[in-house]
Chain A
Amino acid sequence: MNTDDINLAYKLRHALNENLDALPASTTERLAAARALALSRKKADAPAQVRKTRRFFDVDFHFSGASLGRLGVAIPLVALVVGLGGLYQYEQQQRIAELAELDAAVLADELPLTAYLDHGFNAYLESQQRQQ
């Protein structure tokens, strides 16, 4: 909308406001009565939400349905994370042990240095151990 349109709109608004003052008394009285009626039925203010401080040892909280539901999700998640961590640690230990074994074999001149590059050498070592 250009400036002329906006000016016209505000002039119309002024004209409409002028007309408001000419409302008959019966109408304004009826409107006032309607307003009073509406106010008498105003919705009560919602009670302020009190934030409950939950104590750690609050038995009711810990054994309520909601808390049990949350625990039902949290416990398997924690178990999964701990399990994955344990597996990772076990694999690491295995790898270190294999490398140490290879190092010992190299030092004893039982193996060529290229054995480090042979990823399938574990099978050979295991067969050696079995024979011993």
Chain B
Amino acid sequence: MATDKELGDFLENVERRAFKQAVYAVRKDEAALDIVQDAMIKLAEKYGDKPAAELPMLFQRILQTTILDYFRREKVRNTWVSLFSGLGRHGGDDEDFDILDSYEAEEGSAAAESSMDQVERAQTLQLIEAEIQKLPARQREAFLMRYWQDMDVAETAAAMGCSEGSVKTHCSRATHTLADALRAKGIKL
């Protein structure tokens, strides 16, 4: 049975990754924050008395369900609200903006080289996130749970409600897709 401290530590450890997971799925920070909050509350209210070892799987399951609920609500809302609302909010400026275009460094200086590395690194990280966002939802879930949330195959399968074989297939496909996409962009990790 998880104590208050164990639950608190678990949520603290997982909250930022959960937020990112939700962002990859719904692509809106505010909505992702609401989803993570809902998932945390559901976990605490309904499964607060479960053993600490079961919390990661339960939380992931709740998180995925809450994300699905969000999409269902959005779908219903979109039937009433104009389909065109919200379009054009993303993209545009971000896609055209390249920080290296406006970046000027003093050539040869160590500081300049370090800054360039930092910018390149930040861009690489952004590209990786973008590629992860592009993955099919099930592949992304499996990949993130296995390799980011440190869940084993059985836990991931339980959280996703599928077989262990499917989890392995999703993970393998996701990794290959990411490897191909990053190679195509000339990114080497």
Contacts and interface: CB of A to CB of B under 8 A. Distances in A.
Contacts of A35: 8, 11-12, 15, 40
Contact of A16 (B148, B171, B175): B148
B33 interface: yes
Contacts of A44: 48-49
A62 B44 CA distance: 41
A10 B43 contact: no
Contacts of A20: 16-17, 20
B44 A42 contact: yes
A16 B129 contact: yes
Contacts of A39: 4, 7-8, 11, 44
Interface in A8-24: 8-13, 15-20, 22-23
A5 B148 contact: no
Contacts of B41: 34, 37-38, 41
A100 to B, nearest CB: 71
Nearest to B129: A19
Contacts of A13: 147-148
Nearest to B37: A34
B187 to A, nearest CB: 10
A9 B150 CA distance: 12
Interface of B: 1, 4, 7-8, 11-12, 15-17, 19-20, 29, 33, 36-37, 40-41, 43-49, 121-122, 124-125, 128-129, 132, 143, 146-148, 168, 171-172, 175-176, 178-179, 189
